Structure 1
């Protein structure tokens, strides 16, 4: 009898986010590696995502009452939850469970109370205890979670994300085209992305700063603008809003540098995407970013204006003198969705 694997893609309810991108890139890779005669995939997702992975695929649609009472899972062999914060989880079912954990950023958020952090860890721990195998998207995330939760006798592994770029050719020029050389960054606009430190890099030059991504916090966006006004560079600040795949690739391919000063990252998918194009990349030294960027990226020693400016100046000069593009592209190739899918398939098969 064929083994049926149900994939919880609940995070697809958030379009234009890294988690949405994670689902739409991992699933097609899984579709290619499962054995067609003995393994089947079913996708548990919001009804508005019907057909997301092909009209001939098997879908089970989420309903709000499933948060309390799960649908019948008798025909399934494995449940894979693609994110630790999914609202749906078979806590009371004997079905083997694989849980992917992306981060526990809540624990590093100074705005969250100790009580909220405690409740969050308890919720994640409950899911971990129920899981038969836990996968982390980076060694950083693995080590971070293990500071709070005991993993004795709990099978676990690191499964890196892949590079989401499937190169478009020819690229079309975006409707918002920078009128001068520019730095680029891409992420949901929210405080933990730390974008407000970037306008300082426009002081003393004619560069633009192009920020792509949806705005999760309007107040934080205004903070970025206020700091740009403070430095007198607000006219060189460009917010694109959500970007299409074409526009993302165009901005990355043509930028002078990709900047990503994020404070908390479980992986940092935009970094790998920028590496694909071999551009100079400047990152914070925090959380998973040094693990992903390795020795091909440049790192801000602090977020002080002068230190950041010096890092970019020296990094761009080193990039120019060392012909670094090919080395950067080679590191991007290390992160592969087919490899991730194959690793997950091995985990599934260990639980049949």
Structure 2
């Protein structure tokens, strides 16, 4: 929870807060393993085990803990060999789909993950796609497993405040870290023969990839209608999601895809790639790019918006989002915590 602008932070934040709402405090105690900058994120009165970088090499005494939940498969902090029950949540095997990742690095990632799997009592995948990937590429050795979906991050507790910079023109919206796997460079051709803007929000993790997106935009003569916002607040994200013409998500590697159900929460037309977990999450409430050929994508955009405007599936799309509940997710994890043993 060091970086508040990524999906893993929001997974931990919403799961932690939801568990605190449904836990039976008379019968069980929960503690959070947190870095100093996130020490109060779940309140000042919680039980906290302070995280320290030395724990990568020498793990602290955790004899009073019965169950350890590692909330991210790539964590450097893991209680190997400790005599307690361990649950490991696997969000994705995205490194398998990274065209720039060497075979040696892929083998190393698989080896590191296999070591955690071997030392865990239960493996949770955040989608059926991820569980299938685990079974294909790693040995689960008859481990107990389950699929526990993420919840929808959006809430109605506070009004949406208009950002300082807004767009009066119709705009298409997407959000995610600016890296190759998000596949944003296929989007600029969708601005051809219309007056849409394309707003891309997220941390610019790769300058080279941002240049690639702009190069495609220049080739299609639409660079003046591409907007990179950088990371945005939760309020601004909700404003963009509630005001966009459509939400686009052409990612080629997703274990779940939290932005998809966030956009669905506002009843927006959501157009996704058919890669990895996205069809599982979007279901029949989303539209899909079958491939990334510009003419095909342009046709899908036009047809999707025409169908959306003609059939008005706003309520159906919103109900799809509401079916992903953090309270339900928290209850499923709590049941695991209560029943798992070494």
Scaled by the length of structure 2, the TM-score of the pair is: 0.98
Match of 1:305 among 294, 303, 311: 294
Matched residues in 2 for 1:89 and 1:113: separation?
A: 25
Residue matched to 1:156: 145
1:274-285 to structure 2, matched below 5 A, reads 274-285=263-274
Q: Are 1:20 and 2:23 counterparts?
A: no
Q: Are 1:206 and 2:169 counterparts?
A: no
Residue matched to 1:75: 64
- Higher mean Cα deviation, 93-102 or 171-180? 171-180
Deviation, structure 1 residue 313: 0.5
Answer whether contact 1:78 1:95 (CA < 8 A) is retained: yes
- Higher mean Cα deviation, 107-116 or 334-343? 107-116
Q: Counterpart of 2:30 in 1: which secondary structure?
A: strand
Matched residues in 1 for 2:249 and 2:99: separation?
A: 21
Residue matched to 2:136: 147
Scaled by the length of structure 1, the TM-score of the pair is: 0.95
- Going from structure 1 to structure 2, the CA distance change for 1:315 and 1:338 (only over 3 Å counts) comes to same
Answer whether contact 2:261 2:321 (CA < 8 A) is retained: yes
Matched residues in 2 for 1:199 and 1:217: separation?
A: 18
Matched residues in 2 for 1:312 and 1:111: separation?
A: 29
Deviation, structure 1 residue 14: 2.2
Deviation, structure 1 residue 116: 1.3
Listed as ranges, the gaps of 5+ residues in structure 1 are: 1-11
Deviations 1:190-224 (A, max 9, x none): 11000001110001010000111111111111111
Residue matched to 1:334: 323
Q: Counterpart of 2:187 in 1: which secondary structure?
A: helix
- Higher mean Cα deviation, 222-231 or 290-299? 222-231
Matched residues in 1 for 2:327 and 2:158: separation?
A: 22
Match of 1:235 among 198, 219, 224: 224
- Number of corresponding residues: 341
Q: Counterpart of 2:77 in 1: which secondary structure?
A: coil
Deviation, structure 1 residue 351: 1.6
- Going from structure 1 to structure 2, the CA distance change for 1:48 and 1:255 (only over 3 Å counts) comes to same
Answer whether contact 1:167 1:249 (CA < 8 A) is retained: no
Moved over 6 A (4+): none
Residue matched to 1:124: 113
1:26-37 to structure 2, matched below 5 A, reads 26-37=15-26
Answer whether contact 1:176 1:240 (CA < 8 A) is retained: no
Matched residues in 1 for 2:13 and 2:133: separation?
A: 26
Answer whether contact 1:168 1:246 (CA < 8 A) is retained: no
Q: Counterpart of 2:320 in 1: which secondary structure?
A: helix
State the Cα RMSD in Å.
Answer: 1.0
Answer whether contact 1:138 1:267 (CA < 8 A) is retained: yes
Deviation, structure 1 residue 168: 5.2
Matched residues in 1 for 2:319 and 2:270: separation?
A: 14
Q: Are 1:165 and 2:154 counterparts?
A: yes
